[in-house]
Structure 1
Amino acid sequence: MNWLLVVTGAMVGAPLRYLTDRAVRSRHDSVLPWGTFTVNVVGCLVFGVLTGAAVAGAADSRLRLLLGTGLCGALTTYSTFSYETLRLAETGARGHAALNVVASTAAGLGAAFAGVALARGIWA
């Protein structure tokens, strides 16, 4: 029944990614893919909190499957990040492509570390 937890999480994560991307794009007319950036950073934060909770013993394997593999797996998107970065470079916006890579990586890692720290504060 583990697969059902993953499917359930993904059923929330995938539409949430789509709706968040659309909402962010409608508010920001920019060459940078802010929608993808947003869902990836939020997903890293959620996964960081979940990781910290798991280390503290506050998140069992079922919750990790539901939220980590299911929700975050469907919410975040490395393939779209890669595609959008490649498109930026191909259309001559190489500086924007580099900025997208650096900012997404730094913000994602920062969000994951912040999530772990937040979880430690809650469950320590």
Structure 2
Amino acid sequence: MNNILFVALGGSIGAVFRYLLSIFMLQLFGSAFPFGTLLVNVIGSFLMGTIYALGQVSQVSPEIKALVGVGLLGALTTFSTFSNETLLLIQSGAWIKAFFNIALNLCLCIFMVYLGQQLVFSRI
């Protein structure tokens, strides 16, 4: 039961953070490309890599894993929004934007997981 509360707390923080970042990116860049989703996925990937690496080199409590790994990052990042936005780009004929959305999300997010891990591992 204790971990459920940590997941709920992390989820509420992640959801609000995602909402605020999405609004910020929409105001900054407009709606022609889903920069908000890209940003939260990149940030979330970096944090996931960091949390994973910390768990490999030290004790990370189950509560912290539930709070950050499941709750915060689960609410912050979203594959369903990425998928929907990509499909909308395809349906509107914006194939090049759809391609870049897919490529950027995959490449940047995988790189950010790696970067997060390396940040932790290099400090050992």
TM-score between the two structures when normalised by the length of structure 1: 0.96
Q: What is the total number of aligned residue pairs between the two structures?
A: 123
CA drift of 1:30 comes to 5.1
CA drift of 1:59 comes to 1.8
Determine the C-alpha separation between the residues in 2 that align with 1:94 and 1:88: 7
2:54–2:120 Cα contact (<8 Å) kept: yes
**Aligned runs of 1:33-112 on 2, under 5 Å?**
33-112=34-113
Question: Which runs of 5 or more residues in structure 2 are unaligned?
Answer: none
| Structure 1 stretches of at least 4 aligned residues deviating more than 4 Å after TM superposition | none
Deviation string 1:19-44 (CA, Å, 9 cap, x unpaired) is 10000110013521000000000000
CA drift of 1:66 comes to 0.5
2:6–2:67 Cα contact (<8 Å) kept: yes
RMSD: 0.9
Equivalent residue for 1:120? Answer: 121
Equivalent position SS for 1:92: coil
Determine the C-alpha separation between the residues in 1 that align with 2:22 and 2:8: 21
Which residue identity is paired with 1:119?
A: V
Determine the C-alpha separation between the residues in 2 that align with 1:30 and 1:8: 30
Question: Which runs of 5 or more residues in structure 1 are unaligned?
Answer: none
